[in-house]
Structure 1
Amino acid sequence: MTLSRRDFGRLLAGASATAALAQIGISAAIADTSSYRAMVGVFLFGGNDAWNMVVPTDDRYTAYASQRAAIALQKDSLVPLSGTAFGLHAAMAPLKDVWDEGALSVVLNSGTLFQPLTKTLYQNRPDLRPLNLMSHEDQQNQWQGMRTREKNLDGYMGRILDRADAAESPPLVSIAGSQLALIGSSKSPLILPSTGGIARSGYNAASTDAAVIARQSALNTFSDATAFGAVTDMTSRGMSSAYAQAATANTIITSTTSTVDQYFKNPTTGATLTSDISRQLLRAARMIEARNTLGHAKQTFFVSQGGYDTHASELSTHATLYADLALALAAFYKAMKALGLANNVTAFTMSDFGRVYTPNGNAGTDHAWGNNHLVIGSALASRKVHGRYPDTTLGGPEDAYTDGRWIPSIAVEEYIGAIAQWYGVSATDLPYVFPNWATWNGGGRGPVPLFG
């Protein structure tokens, strides 16, 4: 990964802000720093049709098979989630052992909500609906920013970082590029590539070219600019901090002695996992492995997998995507167990939205709303399916339209908020991290009881 001038400017601005604000007595959102915690958000871009990721295996299967028609999965192909009336898509078989160990949970029909909605309220009160439902960009931003009725300019991970203790290397790391979830008001994340190391654009310490030498000499002089005034000094310290962060991260992500790499292999063939989601989770595992070197009591990661906008040929697309995802998540879990951190790390899926229950004419599905999600970690309550599978009557009380666009029964805040609480975000700072927290924390609503 080579930082462009624009990328470096953005990083530099954030690092400078961190340096300037480090002296301000902001409150600590992390309530308990005595034990390590990490949360790993896995965003499935495009709108994952998780109605084919988690499928009922009881009497509800008949309606599922009838309504999903050309894209319905065969019941005997499903991976049973023992003790429940659900099964996983066959391609997610690598997660069967994780479930059996009690380290995999399912959250049913979660999505963006401004307040609890019935179908009557949905139809008669458009002012209570999330803005621009079923739009990729808007729903991605609402999942990451947690504001459903106004523009999102920052994200919940960045806001968690805002209230955390300062660290030389940011404990918020993206291996999926710049994302809204990472943006806070006072601190910046560390953005890593999924392959290769980080290089300074145009920098070559061994160069003999006069122009390159002159440019590098000027940058080196500027990086120690105490004699040029407060503003210049602040900027130069920010630049030096950014260079130092890159150097530290490079040592970790390019190391040849990591102990976690061995777990990122196909358990059947022994081949190294090469999908992009596998590479991202491997880098997250390496950063977790180096937590003591980095001085991190908490870490947050954002990784992603694309390709879920399945308007056509969904069955074949899912077979590939789910296989890569399941292998990567299972490998990551094994790596955490090997580090003795399976109880300290929680990974969880997010996505734009669910998809229409009835398929379109291209053996695919169109944009919808409520969706199912997976959570992985040994701190979870063992082998739980949380929430309620919707009444799948087309045009019925839970269908926003007439073709199976289910109104969510669990708000994003209730889902992600449960993980944030486990992570250690304090009660006083939860309303800062989740601006609509008051709506979902009282009156019979509250965080999903994910953890045992």
Structure 2
Amino acid sequence: MKLTRRDFATFIAGTGAAAALGQLARTASAAPNGSYRAMVGVFLFGGNDGWNMVVPTDSRYSGYAASRGTVALAQNRLTALDGSAFALHPAMAALNPVWAEGAMNIVLNAGTLYAPLTKDLYRSRSDLRPTNLQSHSDEQAHWQGLRARSDNFDGFMGRIADRATQTATPSLISLGGSNLAVIGQRSSPLILPSTGTLSRSGYTAGSTPKNAAITAFASAAGMGTIADVTGQQITAAYTQAANANTILTASSSVDAFFVNPTTGTTLTSDVARQLLRVARLIEARGSLGHDRQTFFVTQGGYDNHSAQVNSDTSTGTHANLLGDLAMALAAFYKATKSMGMAENVTAFTMSDFGRTYRGNAQMGTDHAWGSNHLVVGGNLRPKMAHGVYPSSVLGGADDVSSEGRFVPGIAQEEYLGAIAKWHGVADGDLSYVLPNWWTWTTGGRGPLGLFA
């Protein structure tokens, strides 16, 4: 990829670009409570409507309301964020105290980019566009693998684990299945369920010939090198499962924080169950021998082409999803505080892509590009909104369509790279973890200034 000086000058001249560059500061920080770090990626599958998750409340609100049409939220129903020109969806009130405490940031209009783009460059330089935009599978791979124009066969969290100290129980743990993000080139994640425990498939308690055969192969005594290596792997997997099951089934004080802040009832959403288990694993970091932990958490259901909102637009499918997400993140933050580890843990959202700014006739939204994201943690710069909110004019300077498909102002590398650096990824490993890293560390670009 070659981006000429003329191309870059054109980018700088684009609407909002110069302002964006001024806000993309390099990150240099250290969590004050020892060397331990945990990063917790929460992937919102289906393409979250970040434009209704984070809404402008200043003079830009009128443009928001006019362009969003059928899905616009009433301003008087929004969850105000004090000291900010933005608000959260009404269903996300549980996160308001986290913002007030200075433990949440907003990232505006982030998404898949191969190189800096404006609308004009998007149209004239097809070689600079990410491939297959608006495709669920491709954009999920872009976010998790961070290769915008080539195949993704491993993920950024897996590559972090590749360069980390290997421990008996992997420090890379997925509560959301075997997704690309956690696949490394030489490391393997520990994949845990959101409920229940791990067990041997086909194995039940008691002495049977089948169980004896499974146990014999696991030990692999006298069966040759291949069987011996395989047996060691099976035995290690059994040991990991036993260690994890002990943590998952033991009583823990963090459980008390995973309740609805209004009713006090236990949170039962899948994303809350996953984050509860993440909190338990952070609590057990010492017994697991982890000085770094990386977690992958998921929430599905965000592909809302219809019925995203009800006639009262503050309610509906999207509101229910965001309400569950907000309560889970707020509970998780409280749990890390109770352990004295809030400054050592950072949770952040990702999603396939954003949604069209203009709502459709079915009270839903369609596939788009850039979107807004949330970051939660005790080591963040307080109450920050990073980046530039795009022009809400449909077909305007930031919209590559006529429906509000905005060119991202912040690349995934600038967003996720800031968290990777905070997590402790060495400078020499950043181009391995984020293959397009050098594109985003020149010309005034760099990781977002998320951290204190």
Is TM > 0.5 for Structure 1 vs Structure 2? yes
Q: Distance in 2 between matches of 1:259 and 1:298?
A: 22
Matched, 1:241 2:239: no
Letter in 1 for 2:350: M
Q: Distance in 2 between matches of 1:101 and 1:179?
A: 33
- Where does residue 412 of structure 1 map in the other structure? 412
Matched, 1:313 2:304: no
- Where does residue 437 of structure 1 map in the other structure? 437
- How many residue pairs match? The answer is 416
Letter in 2 for 1:325: L
| Residue pair 1:106, 1:386 contacting (<8 A) in 2 also | yes
- TM-score (structure 2 length as normaliser): 0.90
- Where does residue 65 of structure 1 map in the other structure? 65
User: Offset at 1:421?
Assistant: 0.2
* Post-superposition CA distance 1:107-148 (Å, at most 9, x none): 000000000001111011111110000000100000000000
Q: Distance in 1 between matches of 2:247 and 2:320?
A: 30
Letter in 2 for 1:35: S
- Where does residue 13 of structure 1 map in the other structure? none
Q: Show the 5 A alignment for 1:29-428.
A: 35-206=35-206, 213-255=208-250, 257-315=251-309, 316-428=316-428
Q: Distance in 1 between matches of 2:303 and 2:380?
A: 30
Q: Distance in 2 between matches of 1:219 and 1:355?
A: 49
* Post-superposition CA distance 1:255-296 (Å, at most 9, x none): 1x2111000011211110001110010011111111001010
Q: Distance in 2 between matches of 1:368 and 1:224?
A: 52
Q: Which runs of 5+ in 1 are unaligned?
A: 1-30, 208-212
- Where does residue 26 of structure 1 map in the other structure? none
Letter in 1 for 2:88: L
User: Offset at 1:231?
Assistant: 2.3
Q: Distance in 1 between matches of 2:415 and 2:144?
A: 13
Q: Distance in 2 between matches of 1:187 and 1:70?
A: 47
SS at match of 2:428: coil
- TM-score (structure 1 length as normaliser): 0.90
SS at match of 1:43: strand
Bigger mean CA deviation after superposition, 197-206 or 350-359: 197-206
User: Offset at 1:397?
Assistant: 1.4
SS at match of 2:242: helix
User: Offset at 1:216?
Assistant: 1.5
Q: Distance in 1 between matches of 2:133 and 2:216?
A: 51
| Residue pair 2:333, 2:377 contacting (<8 A) in 1 also | yes
Bigger mean CA deviation after superposition, 166-175 or 216-225: 216-225
SS at match of 2:324: helix
* Post-superposition CA distance 1:222-264 (Å, at most 9, x none): 2222433322211111110000000100011111x21110000
| Residue pair 2:336, 2:342 contacting (<8 A) in 1 also | yes
- Where does residue 446 of structure 2 map in the other structure? 446
* Post-superposition CA distance 1:151-171 (Å, at most 9, x none): 100000000000111100000
SS at match of 1:98: helix
User: Offset at 1:205?
Assistant: 2.2
Letter in 1 for 2:268: T
* Post-superposition CA distance 1:340-369 (Å, at most 9, x none): 000000000000000100111101100000
Q: Distance in 2 between matches of 1:157 and 1:304?
A: 14
User: Offset at 1:81?
Assistant: 1.1
Q: Distance in 1 between matches of 2:228 and 2:307?
A: 56
- Where does residue 27 of structure 2 map in the other structure? none
Alpha-carbon RMSD across the aligned residues, in angstroms, is 1.3
User: Offset at 1:34?
Assistant: 6.0
User: Offset at 1:206?
Assistant: 2.1
| Residue pair 2:70, 2:360 contacting (<8 A) in 1 also | no
| Residue pair 2:67, 2:393 contacting (<8 A) in 1 also | no
Letter in 1 for 2:76: D
Q: Distance in 2 between matches of 1:146 and 1:34?
A: 30
User: Offset at 1:422?
Assistant: 0.2
Structure 1 pair 334–34 and aligned structure 2 pair: CA distance change class (3 A): closer
Q: Distance in 1 between matches of 2:231 and 2:403?
A: 58
Letter in 1 for 2:116: P
Q: Distance in 2 between matches of 1:332 and 1:91?
A: 17
Q: Distance in 1 between matches of 2:350 and 2:186?
A: 25
Q: Which runs of 5+ in 2 are unaligned?
A: 1-29, 310-315
Bigger mean CA deviation after superposition, 393-402 or 112-121: 393-402
Q: Distance in 2 between matches of 1:363 and 1:309?
A: 13
| Residue pair 1:162, 1:184 contacting (<8 A) in 2 also | yes
Q: Distance in 2 between matches of 1:223 and 1:306?
A: 36
| Residue pair 1:253, 1:286 contacting (<8 A) in 2 also | yes
